[in-house]
Chain A
Amino acid sequence: KAGVTQTPRYLIKTRGQQVTLSCSPISGHRSVSWYQQTPGQGLQFLFEYFSETQRNKGNFPGRFSGRQFSNSRSEMNVSTLELGDSALYLCASSPKAGPWGAQYFGPGTRLLVL
């Protein structure tokens, strides 16, 4: 079975721009969660989608949003980028909604905001 895929792998943007990241979960997985990873804060939960509905949300500003499509693929969007948004953005999929049990991560999208 193919793993979680994320595109693009690397991205450079400037402050004020917006960005959209994409995630394709493992086939058959309907839950997709997004995380931000930085050296200082570690892995922080952004949100979770299941069956096209946001089920859970972390403590991030409204500039961070996401959606899930009927094929379980998910996108996250960050508007009005700030320097502090530079991070590795990770997507994880799970067969079911929370309690998730195990989550399987993709390789991440590394975003650099200049």
Chain B
Amino acid sequence: GQQLNQSPQSMFIQEGEDVSMNCTSSSIFNTWLWYKQEPGEGPVLLIALYKAGELTSNGRLTAQFGITRKDSFLNISASIPSDVGIYFCAGQETGANSKLTFGKGITLSVRP
């Protein structure tokens, strides 16, 4: 089946820095979602993208739906300690019965 690639597995940044993470797919997707998960909790939806080329912001977070429809990126600006967590991308192919596929996630650490 299709796979989503997120790398690296972990990222370490200094508070105040910007960070960008991307997600690539072997298949064309019609929806890209970005989630954040903190220990002991379920993933929380950060941004949803529905059109190729779409650029959407949510506070300090910005995400884009790649024009090839096979990739997406998430940017966090001016990071703060509470940005720590695991960031997952998820994508869905076209088709009424298509499933949501998740990347393995990137663990973000922010040094104060």
Residues of A in contact with B (beta carbons under 8 Å apart):
4, 6, 33, 42-43, 45, 48, 55-56, 58, 90, 92, 97-108
Contact = CB atoms under 8 A, between A and B. Distances in A.
Residue among B42, B43, B48, B95 with max Cβ neighbours from chain A (10 Å) = B42
Contacts of B88: 43
A102 B48 CA distance: 6
A57 B40 CA distance: 26
Residue among B45, B100, B103 with max Cβ neighbours from chain A (10 Å) = B100
Interface of B: 30-31, 33, 35, 40-45, 48, 50, 88, 90, 92, 94-105
Contacts of B35: 105
Nearest to B104: A42
Given A42-B104, A45-B101, 7 more contacts: A42-B102, A43-B88, A97-B96, A103-B33, A103-B100, A107-B40, A108-B42
Interface of B, secondary structure class, is: loop
A100 B92 contact: yes
Contacts of B96: 97-99
A68 B44 CA distance: 23
A48 to B, nearest CB: 8
A90 B100 CA distance: 13
Contacts of A48: 99
Contact of B45 (A43, A103, A106): A103
Given A42-B102, A100-B100, A107 B42 contact: yes
B99 A45 contact: yes
Given A99-B31, A101-B31, A45 B100 contact: yes
A6 B88 CA distance: 21
A105 B42 contact: yes
Given A33-B100, A56-B97, A99 B92 contact: yes
